[in-house]
A and B are shown apart, each in its own frame.
Chain A
Amino acid sequence: MKDIADLVRHHPFAEGLDEDTLALVAGCAKNVVLQPGDYFFREGAAADSFYLVRHGAVALETFVPGRGTFTFLTVKSGEILGADWLIPPYRSSFDARAIELTRAIAFDGKCLRGKCEADPRVGYEMMKRFIPPLVKRLQSARMQALGMYDAADA
């Protein structure tokens, strides 16, 4: 049976992470399994965790009164879920709902922030792994906001 450090090691997030740092951050982690329809976190709730999705799919959603619930991003195997744990006031901006059976590694945000504060080298390793996907999501969100598929025609 794999321990939690093994699970972290095999996620793309941990690629290139040295064993000491991996063991350190794995100390803040636990394995979770969510059924379809279960929520990882809800909008407005404390953002005390982030997740490495191992298998499955998660919809990031928001509710628009009078129009219903909208999904604006899906997070799938090999990706990270949750960024609000990084910045005060550590409050979730959206809902995150499993849309299929989803296995993930959950990290205690407060625990990991503490380790990053204590050892900036760990903090830098975490930053190097968080910033690229977040920047890519920002770029994608801008493209989506432009509504490019509404191209003009004759």
Chain B
Amino acid sequence: MPQTLKACTSPPDPMAPRMTPVTRFIRESEDVFTLDLAPERATPFAPGQFNMLYAFGVGEIPISISGDSQAPERLTHTIRAVGPVSAALGRLKAGGRVGLRGPFGVGWPVDAYKGFDVVLIAGGIGLAPLRPVIYWLLRHRAAYGRIGVLYGARAPDDLIFRSELEAWRRTPDFQLRVAVERAGPDWTGDVGYVTPLLSKLRFDPRDAVAMICGPEVMIRATALALEDAGVADSRIFVSMERNMKCAIGHCGHCQFGPLFVCKDGPVHSYDRVRNLLAYREL
């Protein structure tokens, strides 16, 4: 019987970065920028998942995907330049290259809550991981109840995705409130902390799912405010940030009690992590 040689294939090594070109650089604010990447082949991802981006010669960091999950031929990441790796990524321009691994992690449960009211609360750069959810909700608008988005930032100059904020503000059946911590006299929007704006959104807490992304202090305060409003803790989802290195649950850098943030998260239901959030040692 003639034998044929079969091509020897193995699954891609999740630890091996793929050289990926940058196709667009967008300056969002003084310290925040967006990179569009064109992976070799379409890379399906779920809203809330993240990639590891490697700035050659500097290091690798986890960055949530901020683009449209229905357009997987382009991977978009929005990054605040505050450390050496993110600063190096911020020096890239169209035509530059990054090392890409991913996507990794568990995303937002957008599919599981069709028919529910949806409340999104973002603080600072936390709007980036929630933007894919907004794209998803707008594409599947009829499948959901009322939609409300709260977004808090330091100052008007720090707002990201400004043209989209304006477009969302004009979108029917879409509640958007933006609050900044301080503003000049030209700003006519909300000034103050973002959490109290929950009372301004119209939604049925008994029939609502909430997703929060931002600083952990904000997550804790906002989750409690949602509970006070009547949203069950099992329907509050939070995106955690921890020191992710391998992104596949092997190295343990991102261990958070019994969880690995990279593998079991970054999105967790609040009932699963609320007690862990109280431990300062974690």
Contacts and interface: CB of A to CB of B under 8 A. Distances in A.
A76 B154 contact: no
Contacts of A2: none
A18 B214 CA distance: 42
Interface residues of B, number: 38
A144 interface: yes
Contacts of B71: none
* Residue in A70, A141, A154 with the greatest tally of chain B CB atoms within 10 Å: A154
Interface in B58-103: 59, 61, 79-86
A69 to B, nearest CB: 5
Nearest to A72: B182
B202 to A, nearest CB: 14
A99 B182 CA distance: 15
Contact of B193 (A69, A143, A150): A143
Contacts, number: 94
A149 B152 contact: yes
B217 A59 contact: no
Contacts of A59: 185, 191
A92 to B, nearest CB: 18
A153 B83 contact: yes
A38 interface: no
B56 interface: no
Contact of B188 (A100, A136, A140): A100
Contacts of A97: 185
A74 B59 contact: no
Contacts of A100: 188
Interface string B195-221: 110001000000000000011011001
A153 B124 CA distance: 12
A61 B185 contact: yes
B227 to A, nearest CB: 16
A83 interface: no
Interface of B: 59, 61, 79-86, 123-125, 152-154, 158, 181-185, 187-193, 195-196, 200, 214-215, 217-218, 221, 241
Given A143-B221, A148-B215, 4 more contacts: A70-B183, A71-B182, A149-B152, A153-B125
